[in-house]
Structure 1
Amino acid sequence: MAPDPRCTALRAAKDKKGMSYSEIAKQMGESEQRVIDICTGTATATDKEFNQLAEVLDIKNPPHDAAHVTQ
């Protein structure tokens, strides 16, 4: 089983879309491991990755606060 995202909004959006990390990664043009690392907080997303993730998961007005820092 893949790790759960730390962000509850991300988890909810991922569940609502019914997407796997692999499917998200494919749409973003990233590796599955990179997406997992971003979603679980192991890695920090770049602004581009953050915005792509929000777009793929249909997250409107993604937060850019201390919990959602980008590089």
Structure 2
Amino acid sequence: MPIITNLDVMMAKRKVSLKELADRIGISNTNLSLLKTGKVQGIRYRTLDAICKELDCQPGDILEYRADDD
């Protein structure tokens, strides 16, 4: 899939653990872990908004488009 999730990079830059971020934004560790690893089909704007507020970043810092090599 050409959409890459850089959530782990932003979390490392902000020194925030998975559990800490999940607690702050009100989602389960499992769901945040799936999002972090890119194993989800979509993300709610509400969740993306909460992540961006907590990590003080833009959606483009978390999501990246890379074209396939086709």
**TM-score of Structure 1 vs Structure 2, range by shorter chain:** 0.5 to 0.7
Unpaired segments ≥5 residues, structure 2:
none
Identity %: 20
User: Bigger CA drift: 18-27 or 40-49?
Assistant: 40-49
Give the Cα–Cα distance (whole angstroms) in 2 for the partners of residues 27 and 41 of structure 1: 20
SS at match of 1:42: coil
TM-score of the pair, normalised by structure 1: 0.67
1:26 aligned onto 2:26: no
Higher relative contact order at CA 8 Å, sep ≥6: structure 1 or structure 2?
2
- Asked if the contact 2:5–2:64 (Cα under 8 Å) also holds between the matched residues in 1, the reply is no
1:52 aligned onto 2:50: yes
Show CA shifts across 1:23-66 (max 9, x none): 00000011011111112111121111111111111103x22775
Answer with 1 or 2: which has the greater Rg.
2
Query: Would you identify which runs of 4 or more consecutive aligned residues in structure 1 move more than 3 Å?
Result: 64-67
SS at match of 1:27: helix
Q: Which residue of 1 aligns with 2:5?
A: 7
Unpaired segments ≥5 residues, structure 1:
1-5
Q: Which residue of 1 aligns with 2:14?
A: 17
More strand by share: 2
C-alpha root-mean-square deviation of aligned residues, in Å? 2.2
